[in-house]
Amino acid sequence: MHDSQLTKAEIEQLTDADWRQRLSPEEYQVLRQKGTERPFTGIYNEVKKDGIYRCRGCGAKLFDTRHQFNAGCGWPSFDATLDKSAVDEHVDTSHDMRRVEVTCSHCGGHLGHVFPDGPKETTGLRYCINSVSIALDTEVQT
């Protein structure tokens, strides 16, 4: 588990070979190569414990379990990020679709996509995130 967060300076030093060494093959494929884990396979598909999800690439705090909901789509889903600056959003037109990609604003790691079909009573957004790109931290206080 990552109990601390890499600094921007540390992240800038990391080469592709360093990332391969730091991450498991699955984590590397998602975070650094924009892969997608198979639906219903991720360990965080259901909320089991409260806490804060950190980026598996760099340890930055990204999502709160209080904003996680069961979208039934097969990936952890959130109606909001921990704070607005936690992620960056980019238009992604790969696979003949127009989607909005979500990346960690700290290390640039790919997390998933955000869709406008979330719960209407809150934000209307669904951040659809790969389990392998995040790590639940149940110790952190918010």
Q: Which residues are catalytic?
A: 128
Among 23, 58, 102, 129, binds Zn ion (CB under 5 A): 58
Question: Distance between CA 84 and CA 14 in Å, rounded?
Answer: 25
Site for Zn ion in 5-24 (CB under 5 A): none
Expressed in angstroms, the distance from the first to the final Cα of the chain is: 19
Between 19 and 75, whose beta carbon lies closer to Zn ion? 19
What does the CA dihedral 38, 47, 72, 97 come to, rounded to 10 degrees?
-50
Residue 59 CA to residue 37 CA, distance in Å, equals 20
- Of positions 30, 107, 125, 128, contacts Zn ion by CB under 5 A: 107
| Smallest gap from residue 72 Cβ to Zn ion (A) | 27
Whether 86 contacts 77, CB under 8 Å: no
Of the candidate spans 41-49, 80-88, 94-102, 106-114, the one that interacts with Zn ion by CB under 5 A turns out to be: 106-114
Residues that bind Zn ion (CB under 5 A): 55, 57-58, 60, 104, 106-107, 109
